[in-house]
Amino acid sequence: MTINIGVLVSGEGTNLQAIMDSVESGKINNATVSVVVSNKPDAPALKRAEKHGVDAVYIDPTDYKGRRWDYDQLTLKALREHGVTSEEGLVVNAGYMRILSPEFVKKFWMREMNIHPSLLPSFPGLDAPKQALDYGVKVTGCTVHFVDEGVDTGPVILQEALPILENDTVETLTTRIHEVEHRLYPEAVRLFTEKKLVVEGRRVKVLL
């Protein structure tokens, strides 16, 4: 059975690109990116989707300030129209700069992923590379996790560490983290689509 993937974006879409490339190359061979949904009309990720023949949908958030669930229902409708259901689909957050409502999260419980540029639970939230540099840690990295009702608090699927170099800036560190993300995120998606992820409480087991 082919799993339909819906990707939520707000920006450049480099992780979206990595996932689409993995689908097209056959690395992810039993899934398709069915739709890309953005809350930003000028998100470059939408153009990336269109170049790959993936439906790109912009949903204007202007009239929904403080009404997350009302807005999220429109997102949910767009996903369902493209076969991304809570029973069989997968939602992938790729630089999506909105906090989803609890109602939406529950619809896709343990069927929605996010990637974060740190080794969670360290440095959640915005500007994680800057947080790591400011704190003075020697190692950071990135984390793919399932989405729960908190901010960057869901069960960890995959993590990869990255040393912080003496001459690193926020820009250089962010670039190096992105390189890891572009490998790690498609791998997490592949494991999900091949039913090799088992969630037991806060632990996610990877089946061999």
The whole-model pTM stands at 0.96
Give pairs for 108-114: CB < 8 Å, separation 24+: 108/147, 110/146, 110/155, 110/199, 111/86, 112/146, 112/147, 113/144, 113/145, 113/146, 113/147, 113/157, 113/185, 113/188, 113/189, 113/192, 114/144, 114/145, 114/146, 114/147, 114/152, 114/154
Q: Tens digit of pLDDT per residue, the chain (208 long)?
A: 899 999 999 999 999 999 999 999 999 999 999 999 999 999 999 999 999 999 999 999 998 988 999 999 999 999 999 999 999 999 999 999 999 999 999 999 999 999 999 999 999 999 999 999 999 999 999 999 999 999 999 999 999 999 999 999 999 999 999 999 999 999 999 999 999 999 999 999 999 8
pLDDT at 125: 95
Q: What is the pLDDT of residue 199?
A: 97
Q: What's the confidence (pLDDT) of residue 66?
A: 83
**Number of independent structural domains in the chain:** 1
CATH number of the domain bearing residue 58: 3.40.50.170
CA dihedral 128, 148, 200, 82 (to 10 degrees): -110
**What integer pLDDT is reported at residue 147 of this predicted model?**
98
- The catalytic residues are 116
Domain assignment of residue 59, given as a range: 3-206
What is the phi/psi pair of residue 123, to 5°?
A: 55, 55
Parallel, antiparallel or unpaired: strands 203-206 and 197-200? antiparallel
- List the beta strands (DSSP E) in the chain: 3-9, 31-38, 55-58, 90-94, 112-116, 139-146, 156-163, 197-200, 203-206
